[in-house]
Amino acid sequence: MNIVIANESHIKYAQIISDTISESAKVRGTGIAQRSADYIIKRLVNGNAVIALDEENFAGFCYIEVWGHKKFVANSGLIVHPDYRNQGLAKKIKKAIFELSRKKFPDAKIFGITTGLAVMKMNYELGYKPVTFSELTNDPDFWTGCQTCKNFDVLTRTEQKMCLCTGMLYDPSDKTKIKKDKVNSKAFKRLKSIKEQLFLKKKAK
């Protein structure tokens, strides 16, 4: 298995990456923004993505988005092909894109929003902290990218202050040492449950 920085030679994988993201959203029933093949191609050719390959077979992908004049970057679109799940590959890809982000944008704050407990755990282990949405980028283009997520109406109703996703942030200027305690899975699940009850109940009315 090779995890490499993506380039133009990987354009042939754009459609399967897009399809894998779409299928994952359907299977999980969670809020995952859709990404077209053209959208993926732009990320493949600008050197801001990593791709995992098993010889010539697509195994996984993640990319970097730059916001706020390079003050913020987001590691987005983390996906592993169904044939390669439950092997620890997502964690390796997450670490690779994080290291690429730190190398290319050493002063930028790295952030992400997710409903997935597994991704929260990976972010936490890399040094991210849960934060309010107000601490993330205010670049409107980032939030526009959430339009294809099925929970976008929640984000709209709260004026981008809250959603079912949890915001997490890595601040390179924060010198506070992070305790390597285990992630409190029950706390994250409880938070997600409260959000679902609060926002989805309102939607049903």
Global pTM reads 0.79
State the distance between the two ends of the chain, measured CA to CA, in whole angstroms: 49
What range defines the domain where residue 86 resides? 2-204
Q: How does pLDDT run across 10-66, given as a tens digit for each residue?
A: 999 999 999 998 888 776 655 566 789 999 999 999 999 999 999 999 999 999 999
CATH of the domain at 149: 3.40.630.30
Q: How far apart are CA 125 and CA 115, in angstroms?
A: 17
pLDDT at 184 over 70: no
| 39, two tokens | 């959208």
Cβ neighbours around 176 below 10 Å, total: 8
- Decide if 36 contacts 28 (C-beta within 8 A): no
Q: How many CB atoms lie within 10 A of CB 102?
A: 16
Q: How far apart are CA 102 and CA 36, in angstroms?
A: 27
What's the whole-number mean pLDDT along residues 150-178? Answer: 82
User: What is the total count of domains within the chain?
Assistant: 1
pLDDT on residue 177: 54
At residue 180, does pLDDT exceed 60? no
Sign of the four-CA dihedral 108, 42, 8, 77: positive
Q: How far is CA 62 from the centre of its chain?
A: 8
At 112-136, the pLDDT tens digits run 888 778 888 899 899 999 898 889 8
